[in-house]
Structure 1
């Protein structure tokens, strides 16, 4: 009898352990495996413009297939679209017949004809270069030559490295006619009298990776879980390392999105349709999320939970995430209600001056009125590894990623099950 009791006790323990494992949101083993794959040197930094991005896309698609999800678009889980890549080279700017060094000018758009009556502006020695630069760039209707004081030479050279990337445009959208801008280092009153460049264009295919888990009773109401899987590729070598692996940005968010898909598939109680999507080309203009968002009915999207950089603890401490645009809808508040009594907390975005709400892949749907928010733990004012070759898996806190996934999984459960509906964001676009 004693042996029989022990046998039943052991069986009960076994069943308890099995049940716990089945209902566990995620595991450190899965997180580590996915992270190490996406952030491996083999992926060459996952640039949307490099062929290695195919490897990352195929890996994510294989995870979706193994989980048992259905393709959202094409049968291979890819949502394909085309962009036009415009390369500008052999740029020349001359003042009184003398060519300026390449690092001392930034030509945006077509070369400005010296005979044109362009607006002539300046960025003086006592002005904040970044603020003034942004003001000038935001005026899309005015062609301008901008004389920059030599004090700002280092800033101009830095901005050139950022802005002199290939120009990419979605072929599905009408091309915008932006007025040219020419920033140049010179003495006050000096104006370029000769400018030229050569331009070539190339059509490229890009692809989001997207899967769907149909809802049971509310199939026409969508909840989106997303992250971007691209990064910035290969950089000038630092200590013989040139690959910007993008472990935190945003392999961590992509890992979370995949693990949430696995969890909700196992729960099998989603009344609303769940869409899981890995966006491409976030780093060069959010083209993946723009294409996706412009090809879905925003009125059917109940919520979008976009996950960006959760590899380290937030400024609010362990087991916490912040939500961009927290007060624009009550999504964050609903999710906080659902984790009451646990160690998890959701907080308003502490970096208000960064305008993060409209700087990530949630932006287009948020502008269309969807409660679309980005969830993050990144301390962007302190992160020394952001967009460097040092953003590797070894620098991440796997437990922080795990707790963030658990918080989102439990926080969103009422929305997934159709019991809660977030308020809409005020529309910026029709």
Structure 2
């Protein structure tokens, strides 16, 4: 019997219409806007100014602290200016804007396709290098990888979990990485195991990706301590705590991190980026992005330089359809509608979804009928209907006591609500307010 997590979950239509599309290299943009806040933690501090000439892979913004990440130039050219640009959340954020001139890479980067299996660096050197190369979690959370590889004193990692679930409808970038970069993934896993000093790693993949399961199972059979765990299809199994529950049966306590139960989770995209950073000296300057939707004529998976405007990806996939209703950064469950097509691709951009009018339209909000479907669907065991009320009425103390900060913003509650109530919208608002209160208190 296939494993899955125990609490909550829903089953949205998968709609993986780009799953069979191989990764294509997107042509270089004429101009990139590289935000200095592409990660959880302190913003990076710009090291360049208007008029400076930069190479691809050159450090252009330094980490602002331990929980932060370096930023490297995704193109070669001239710094046009430092300014603020609108990001995927709709807010203006500081960015370094560069005009592309050719594609001259930093000489230290190995650009060959040759697989490098021998891991020369020690565990401590690996952690330091992932920090220098600006590697962050590429499943959406963008937590700096070197921090995850550094458990706090008294905590020890017992098992490394590689997240190949990709449970969000439509998105297929991780699926393609597992198929096309599978050997590099295996080396990346061994690099992470060495850094964490663990001898067991499990790759979790949902059963709707039999080709990836088959390919990685064959490769894992030749590796000591690496195995593949097929999982039952259920959303949001890609959440860290849900994946840990599904594979190990361990429950991460409220308010705690996975290391509390001896686990560390890394996405497959992150694992491939770690391989390139350690074995090729390549910083995180590009990533695979799915461009998809019912009206997109050429659903695709593109290898894209960071800072590329979203509009260029959509044009490469056939352009906007006539019945376009909404462009979403990410998938339909957790993604956010974009305010314009100049929004840049960042380290956490996994997909661009174009929805037609009929699917983008929200149904009228009705009164809660106390059906408790949102409670049954919540994978964190919360009461979403109650948290929405508390956020509406600004009852922040009660919301904190009812564990609003445990919400992983998966959208299962809104998806299952028959009254079409904007549960996740209000819970996100509440999380922001309560989080601010907690930070001020501490």
Structure 1 or 2: more strand by fraction: 1
Larger radius of gyration: 1
**TM norm structure 1:** 0.23
Structure 1 or 2: more helix by fraction: 1
